[in-house]
Amino acid sequence: MELLSIELRYLRYFVALAEELNFRRAAERLHLSPPALSMQIKKLEGLLDIQLFERDTTKVRLTTTGEVLLPEARALLQQVQELVVATKDAAEGNQGRLRIGFPGRFSHSFIPATVKAFRECYPKVDINLADLNIETEQPKAVEEGRIHVGFVFDTQLRHMSGVDHLLVADVPIWAFMG
């Protein structure tokens, strides 16, 4: 048996019929005609080379083999649904991993609040903080893809090209003399 020849739709049809135990109700649920559903179930049984249902003119029952397949088919269809949701979440930026260069003491004023706000909006995204020197290590780490977000002073930003940036802290610096 070639595994790739079993399409997910066959499993959806099988589960619907197994739950309804009635071709007409299962076909309505699937938006098919009863003869089309019957043909698809026969194709699945042919691919597996087993009988999944006992049929007579008044009843449809699962065979022992069908009873074994039912929870496995349900689990596989659930996994596929979870795969679709996770993939869409990742594509929309709602899931995945965000690696941030942590610029040491400089960031104590804004990193905790920023991370908390981000987690409220994107709870499925894992955040990893890497303690990297703001002047030398972070620009290189972004360039090499080791982190997604880094911090630099505006004097360094002038020497960087092809990066998006925004101001996250406008810190006044005081000069003093003795």
Could you give all domains of the chain from N- to C-terminal order, each with its CATH number?
A: 3-90 (1.10.10.10), 95-157 (3.40.190.10)
> What is d(CA 178, CA 90) in angstroms, rounded to the nearest whole number?
55
Note the pLDDT of residue 107.
65
Per-residue pLDDT 10s for the chain (178 aa) are: 455 578 899 999 999 999 999 999 999 999 999 999 999 999 999 999 999 999 988 899 999 999 999 999 999 999 999 999 888 887 877 778 888 887 776 666 777 888 888 888 888 888 888 888 877 788 888 888 888 888 777 777 777 777 787 777 776 666 667 5
Is the pTM higher than 0.85? no
Cα torsion angle, 105, 133, 138, 145, sign: negative
Phi, psi of 122, deg, nearest 5? -130, 70
The phi-psi region of residue 55 (left if phi > 0; otherwise alpha if psi is between -120 and 50; otherwise beta) is beta
DSSP 8-class letter at 149: B
> What is d(CA 153, CA 133) in angstroms, rounded to the nearest whole number?
12
- Helix, strand, or coil (residue 168): coil
CA angle 65, 71, 62 (to 5 degrees): 35
Structure-block tokens of residue 13? 């049809």
